[in-house]
Amino acid sequence: MSDENNQKNAGSFWTTLPGCLTGIAAVITAIGSILTILYTVGLLKLPENSLPETPTPVSAPGLSFTGTWQGDDPDDGSTISLILKQAGNTIEGTFSDTFSKQTDGTMIRPGWWGNGIGSLSSPSEARMSFDLARSSDSLKLDVRLILSNQNDTLTLEIPQSSTIILKRQQ
């Protein structure tokens, strides 16, 4: 009698929840496999507009950090110069100042000088990191650059220091 019950229940697996889930999974797997094969052999093509677009640069027309910028440091009166080149969202350049004030008040000529690289965070704002040196000292300087709407003034923000306004040089 137990063999009769087993035979009656043997055909009922597909009507149970695990049986239904197994059947659905098998159908989804088969459809996915068929679509993959058709795409691989070239019989199935994706619509042209379904591919993601190339990201557009953050920069805006008419605004560019490229150029020579110069201004006076209100803390010590030295002249700060930046020579920047923007390519897409990347900015590279050099930083220099005419002299630097030491903690004892004496001046060191020339001041800090070095190269840096950074990126745009918006069309008119960038962050850069400069590796600077003077005499036997070295310094890593992280700055924020803000470009004016008129494209002729660059604000240089240095943490724990004064904000320096730089003018575009012709």
Rounded Cα gap, residues 128 and 166, in angstroms: 15
Rounded mean pLDDT of the chain? 82
What's the token pair of residue 39?
């795409």
pTM, two decimal places? 0.61
Mean pLDDT for 50-61 is 52
pLDDT confidence of 9, banded at 50, 70, 90?
A: low
Residues 72, 49: Cα–Cα separation, whole Å: 52
Predicted confidence at residue 5, as pLDDT, reads 57
pLDDT tens column, 16-29: 888 888 989 999 99
Strand partners, 148: none
- Band (pLDDT 50/70/90 cuts) for residue 76 is confident
C-alpha to C-alpha distance for 140 and 163, rounded to whole angstroms: 18
